[in-house]
Amino acid sequence: MDLRGENKGYPYPLGVLQRIEKLADRMNRPSRWLLPEGRPELFVGVDLGTSYVVVVVVDDQGDPVGGMMQFATIAREGLILDYLGAIEIVKGMVESLQKGLGIQLGYASTSFPPKTESANIRTTQYVVESVGMKVLKIVDEPSAANRLLNVQNGAIVDIGGGTTGIAVVEDGEIIYTGDEPTGGTHLNLVIAGRKKISFEEAESYKLEHQAETLEITLPVIQKMATIVRDHIGDRRVEVVHLVGGTSGLIGMEKVVEEELGIPVGKPSHPQLVTPLGIAIACTEERSVQSGRREPLRSV
Ligand SMILES: Nc1ncnc2c1ncn2[C@@H]1O[C@H](COP(=O)(O)OP(=O)(O)OP(=O)(O)O)[C@@H](O)[C@H]1O
Ligand SMILES: [Mg+2]
């Protein structure tokens, strides 16, 4: 599994980076899934993306306990196209996690790209419910990312496989969300055309030849930055935070920074930020519902 895209680019709080690193370390590695002492309640985040299905388990403090991710094409541009396939994949992952941790997982959160129709949001919920978990919260993707990053002022841009989600945050509140059908799939198409290889070969090529990918796909990345600029409009944005798998492309943050003229930050393993944020949203919701305490802060 590839979890590249290490440059941090922005001084994120240590607690945020440690959580991401912990998840990266435990991702798809059952030998590292350890039940925390005292057997606290566990919470699950399910991200049904265009390119990857990711399931993250956190404890009651939002700390990663285990996780699985798998390349899968069950959705396109945020819409679930293969309902049964989605159930099968999520079921397999949840069962593996339950077996590895020796515990039943009961509570989950899931997500949707901003501006998704309510019917599709319900489909996502049904997928998670049909594997036996109660859905406590459904959050839009860039807002989920902010459950982890805890940005007070800035924009969060989640560039995934098929969609780019944008959220503008002011004084800790999300004041705008937008969504565009652009992402890693478009980079693959450009690479496939240029190198005369298949889409699947382009996917591997992209991960193995980062510098050349940046060069070949520069116009697409510049276009993505223009899209982000249009969404930001005249809102005041101090920093743009890049998350999502495609943001993992080494050097992408510099191109976006140049185009926007705004500082750009990118946490390590940007692909894991939104899935982890979804799981943290579940923990927070449980706290609020059970009246135990205020929502958790990210760090
Ligand atoms: N280091 C990297 N460089 C370039 N692209 C990368 C890198 N790592 C992952 N990707 C790409 O990121 C995409 C997957 O990212 P992510 O898991 O965030 O998307 P998703 O959630 O499945 O899709 P979406 O959010 O659009 O529905 C794929 O296109 C993959 O090729
Ligand atoms: Mg995504």
Using one digit for the tens of pLDDT, what is the confidence trace for 245-271?
A: 999 999 999 999 999 999 999 999 999
pLDDT in the model for residue 7? 42
| pTM across the whole model | 0.93
Give the rounded distance of the alpha carbon of 236 from its chain centre.
24
The residue nearest atom 6 of ligand 1, judged by CA position, is 246
Tell me the residue type at 292.
Answer: R
The residue nearest atom 9 of ligand 1, judged by CA position, is 245
Distance from C-alpha of 208 to C-alpha of 190, rounded to nearest angstrom: 16
Q: Does residue 176 contact residue 213 with C-beta atoms inside 8 Å?
A: no
Which of 74, 120, 271 to probe ligand 1 with, by most ligand atoms within 8 A of CB?
Answer: 271
Q: What is the CATH number of domain 14-147+271-289?
A: 3.30.420.40
pLDDT digits (tens, 9 = 90+) for 35-45: 888 878 999 99
> Which ligand has its closest atom nearest to the C-alpha of 5?
1
pLDDT in the model for residue 263? 95
Angle formed at CA 157 by CA 257 and CA 73, multiple of 5 degrees = 125
Distance from C-alpha of 200 to C-alpha of 189, rounded to nearest angstrom: 10
- Pocket around ligand 1 at a 6 A CB cut-off: 2, 4-5, 47, 49-52, 75, 78, 160-163, 183-184, 203, 206-207, 244-246, 248-249, 271
Query: Which atom in ligand 1 lies closest to the alpha carbon of residue 185?
Result: 29
Which of 52, 76, 203, 273 to probe ligand 1 with, by most ligand atoms within 8 A of CB?
Answer: 52
**Taking Cα atoms as reference points, which of 162, 154, 182, 138 lies closest to residue 242?**
154
Q: How many CB atoms lie within 10 A of CB 98?
A: 17
Q: How far is the CA of 246 from the centre of ligand 1 (A)?
A: 4
The residue nearest atom 15 of ligand 1, judged by CA position, is 245
pLDDT in the model for residue 96? 97
pLDDT in the model for residue 3? 34
Distance from C-alpha of 192 to C-alpha of 264, rounded to nearest angstrom: 28
Q: Does residue 167 contact residue 240 with C-beta atoms inside 8 Å?
A: no
Query: Which atom in ligand 1 lies closest to the alpha carbon of residue 243?
Result: 18
pLDDT in the model for residue 75? 84
Tokens found for residue 207: 């991960």
The residue nearest atom 28 of ligand 1, judged by CA position, is 161
pLDDT in the model for residue 228? 96
Query: Which atom in ligand 1 lies closest to the alpha carbon of residue 75?
Result: 27
Tokens found for residue 237: 């944005």
CATH of 150-268, one of 3.30.9.90, 3.30.420.40, 2.60.120.10, 1.10.10.10: 3.30.420.40
3-state secondary structure at position 8: coil
pLDDT in the model for residue 8? 44
pLDDT in the model for residue 122? 87
Tell me the residue type at 179.
Answer: D
Q: Which regions of the chain carry the CATH code 3.30.420.40? A: 14-147+271-289, 150-268
pLDDT digits (tens, 9 = 90+) for 212-249: 999 999 999 999 999 999 999 999 999 999 999 999 99
C-alpha distances in Å from residue 58, one per residue of 125, 264, 270, 285? 19, 28, 18, 13
With a cut of 70, list the residues of the chain below it in pLDDT: 1-10, 78, 292-299
